[in-house]
Structure 1
Amino acid sequence: MRTLRDALGELARGARFGRFLSVGALGALVDLPISTALTLGAVLEPQWAKVVGTECAIIVMFLINDAWTFEAHGAAGRRAKLRRLVRSNVVRSGGLAVQFVVVWTLTDLDVAIHLAGIDVWPVVTMPIAIGTSVLVNYVAESLFTWRVTTDR
């Protein structure tokens, strides 16, 4: 049976966290253009645009994390991978909820940043939201999606 110290040691592995951050940066490159286009194109309110952009990024990040960041964890096979994808979506819904609340709260403030006549404050809130959810996502994905403390 693993101890709390063992679990914290698994979570504190620098190489894995570095990979997770790298994949997250790629996820931001998927999320932010989609969220920005939907927001500035007046297709969706910023918080809902964030949901769409984030879900697209979750799928991309899952595939990369499954093959690279957590390659030594999780059962093999399509069915097992599909279960992890579903679990990852459920787990990351916590991170998405954090992002949604951050965007909602920050866009509700009386702040405006004008660039070429466009208020870009709603878009500025999106990377802030991503940053606030990184640690929540890393811990939850490590423990519940790839179960790094139980697979070895």
Structure 2
Amino acid sequence: MSILEDTLDELATGARFGRFLSVGALGAMIDLPISSALTLTALLEPQWAKVVGTECAIIVMFLINDAWTFDGQGAPGRAAKIRRLIRSNVVRSGGLAVQFLVVWSLTGLDVEVLVAGTDVWAVVTMPIAIGVSFVVNYVTESLFTWRVAATR
């Protein structure tokens, strides 16, 4: 098999993908309430609220992914785990940039979604941003944080 085929096989591992998706759903349950609260209370602009909510989720998701989704993929030891956490944050900054740009772009549209007299369009854009960045995060985390293709 070629390196590309090996890499695609590793990325297409159903169990790992499902776990990553499950952990991502948990991350969304952390991110969205924080981002939404910061936006709806006008403490931060929506795109900056998204940054705060996402960073909180990234830390929790890393810990779960490291112990469950990619169990056995990284080098053992505390120092190695800290290096993976730093690398994960750097890697996920790409996904965060995607989310920032999606929220910024969508909130720039002339759209209004009223719920009980409150425009929630900015909040609606946040799960859309999560969905768009999911693929970027899965591929980059798999290849660069846990280096799954290098283990074959």
TM-score by length of 2: 0.98
User: What is the distance in 2 between the residues matched to 1:104 and 1:2?
Assistant: 40
CA deviation digits over 1:46-77, x for unaligned, max 9?
00000000000000000000000000200011
Partner of 1:74: 74
Q: Which residue of 2 aligns with 1:27?
A: 27
Q: Which runs of 5 or more residues in structure 2 are unaligned? A: none
Correspondence list, 1:32-71, <5 A = 32-71=32-71
Question: Take 2:121 and 2:62, find their aligned partners in 1: how far apart are those partners?
Answer: 29
1:134 aligned partner, one-letter code: F
SS in 2 for 1:149: helix
Shift of 1:109: 0.1
Alignment-derived partner of residue 143 in structure 1? 143
Offset at residue 151 of structure 1 (A): 2.7
Give me the whole-angstrom Cα distance separating, in 1, the residues matched to 2:59 and 2:94.
15
Runs (4 or more) in structure 1 with deviation over 4 Å come to none
Give the TM-score taking structure 1 as reference length: 0.98
Q: Deviations 1:56-109 (Å, cap 9, x if unpaired)?
A: 000000000000000020001110000000000000000000000000000000
| Match of residue 114 from structure 1 | 114
Q: Are the aligned partners of 1:74 and 1:151 in contact in 2 as well (CA < 8 Å)?
A: no
Check conservation: 1:73, 1:147, Cα contact below 8 A.
yes
1:83-102 correspondence to structure 2 within 5 Å: 83-102=83-102
3-state secondary structure, aligned to 1:92 = helix
Query: How far apart are the structure 2 equivalents of 1:63 and 1:91?
Result: 15
Q: What is the aligned length?
A: 152
Alignment root-mean-square deviation, CA: 1.0
Give the gaps of 5 or more residues in structure 1.
none
Q: Is the 8 A contact 1:99 1:130 kept in 2?
A: yes
Q: Give the secondary-structure state (helix, strand or coil) at the position aligned to 1:72.
A: coil
